[in-house]
Every structure is written in C-alpha cells, then in structure tokens.
Amino acid sequence: MINIFIIDDSMFIRNILIKILKDKDDIKIIGEAANPVDAMSMFKKTGIPDVFILDLEMPKMDGLTFLKKLQEERPTPTIIFASLPHDKSTKAIEALELGAFDIVVKPKELNKINDNTFINHFVKKIKASVNMKNINYKKEVRSSVISNHNDSNKIIAIGASTGGVQTLENILSQLKPSHPPIFITQHMPEGFTTSFANRLNKICINSNVREVTKSELIKNGDIFIAPGNMHLEIEKLINNKFQTVLKDYPKVSNHKPSVDVLFKSFAKEVKKRSLAFILTGMGRDGALGIKMIRDSGGETYGQDEETSIVYGMPKVAFKLDGIDKQVSINEVIDIINNIK
C-alpha cells in the first residue's frame, strides 16, 4: 500500500485527486492540506507518507520552501502537481533540481482530471516514485575513464526522463569548451522546456544551450533541447553539414518529444559518427532507437543502475542489446570530455 499526502491550496483540486485515487487498491490517501504549514501539523497523527503530491503556489509556505525542508530532514518522493508555467517561470524546474520525482501538469480544463488517460498516467508516476533513489552526485569520486574516440566529428544524442533534470545539469555543467554538438530529448511537458534550457544555459559556461525553435546548423559547443510537445530530429544536408529539425506529429513510444524519434534520426543521418547516451527514466522510450544507432555503427552507452534515479529506460535498452557499455554519470562526463 502506498500512502499519499496531498498539499494544494485548492480544495477543489484536493477533492478531485482524492476522488480519482481513493478507489485504487494499492493507494491510500492518509491526509490532505491547503499548505505545507497545516500539513506539518498533521504529520504526528498521519505519519510521513510514502509520496507527497505537492502544489508550488500556496499561502503560508510555498512548495519549493517545503521541498527544501523535506529534502534536508527526510527525503520523500514528491510529485509536483503544477499549472502550466507563467512566462519565464522556473519554479517547477527548481523543484526537479531539488529532487522532486516528476511534474504532472494540471489540465487546463479541470474536468479532464477525470479522464482515464490522465488518471493512468498519474497513478503510474505515483507507483514509480516509491522506488526512486536520492543521489547526491557531488559525493561521487570522479573516474578516469578514457574514451576510444580518435576523431572530432562525433555528434552526441542524449535521452532522459524522470530524474533527468538533476542528471543532465550535473553532466552538462562539467563539459569542456568546444565539445561536440549535443541533442537532448528530456521528457518534459510543453511550457517547461524553455525554463529548463535557460537554466542550463546559465550554469553551463562552456556551452550554448537553447530550446530548439527552428531549423539551424549545428556547431561545437551547441546543446539543443527538444521543446515540449514537439519531436526533435537531426538532418544531414547535401554539403555534409547537419541541422536541427522539429517535427509535429503524434506521440511516439507514448511521448512527445520522444527519445526514439531523436535516436532513430541519428541512426539514419549520423550513423557511425553518433555517440548516444540513454539516461535515467521510466518506461522504454529510446531503447529501440539506441539499438538502431548501435546497429548503424554508432557508439552507445546506458546509465548504470547505481547512479540512475530511475533505472527504467537504460535497463530496457541494455536488455535489447542496444548498449555498448553501462556507465556512471561521471563516466559520461569523462567520455564526452575525452573526445579528441
């Protein structure tokens, strides 16, 4: 049984969540509150839950302040139940950086919270969050892995999902100048990827990070982030140069953007020049695509179980024989930085 505590200042939202979750045999709502201050006064009676469902904008104490306190005192899986972000809003991204499990976006039409697709998606995240790991990458000892790359013509593709925000920040902020171009598909709702890319661009001093909004030629030092609700691909031009391409078609592997879409385009266009990493995340998106990259002559890596917040996507890719080697986060950094 998974014990849930809901913290949201909207009684309407809390009642809807209680209604859609109360009939789940393996989920139990042990409490609900309008804000974290009221919630904390209830914990002596209810106990600490297995999972928090947390809003960000609340009176008395906002969600970020509560999440920081929680991570310092008793890390607990937390799902952010957020409205679509305002322009330049970064609170949801900050929550993920602090260790929140994932974001679930409140539907614009609140009656759609009762939609079976939404409910199944929500329940799946709740169940997966119980098994998440809290990892402090800064405590890891850097490895001394040396890459076998002998050329500087590599182009990098990275796929990530749950846990990817913390993982990618750790990797990308430690890259050396003039690194190969990097394409990233991180599962994230529409509206949040802009804040994510802007945040990365501030902390990655040796890179030019941006959310892709149009087709453009690639160059060393570039990091391209797939926008929410669009697929990102790479395309080879007749002059042997490459450019970004955005495609608007239905979900692939149940995601948009899809890691499989990005990886398959690398297998088709980049082939043996591809260097692909599949990182932490739920599900199997990217597993088939990274196997195609390996079959086309590219080099492929999967994040190992020890350093994965959620060892889902890399595990499936490994089982499908799509991975040359499983590596830690620090090894990912070393591999990229040792490309000659």
Quick check: helix, strand or coil at residue 121? helix
Q: Tell the burial category of 301 from Cβ atoms under 10 Å away from its Cβ (0-12, 13-18, 19+).
A: buried
The C-alpha atoms of residue 231 and residue 220 are separated, in whole angstroms, by 22
Q: How far is CA 160 from CA 76, 88, 209, 311, in A?
A: 22, 23, 16, 11
What is the bridge-based pairing of β-strands 242-247 and 231-236?
antiparallel
Q: Tell the burial category of 153 from Cβ atoms under 10 Å away from its Cβ (0-12, 13-18, 19+).
A: exposed
Q: What is the enclosing helix (H) or strand (E) of 157?
A: strand 155-160
Please list the active-site residues. 161, 187, 285
The C-alpha atoms of residue 266 and residue 71 are separated, in whole angstroms, by 38
Q: Hey, what are 107's tokens?
A: 């539907």
User: Side chain identity at 219, as an amino acid letter?
Assistant: K
Location of structure tokens 């200042």: 9
Beta strands in 142-250 (DSSP E): 155-160, 182-186, 208-211, 222-225, 231-236, 242-247
User: Side chain identity at 117, as an amino acid letter?
Assistant: T
The C-alpha atoms of residue 197 and residue 184 are separated, in whole angstroms, by 10
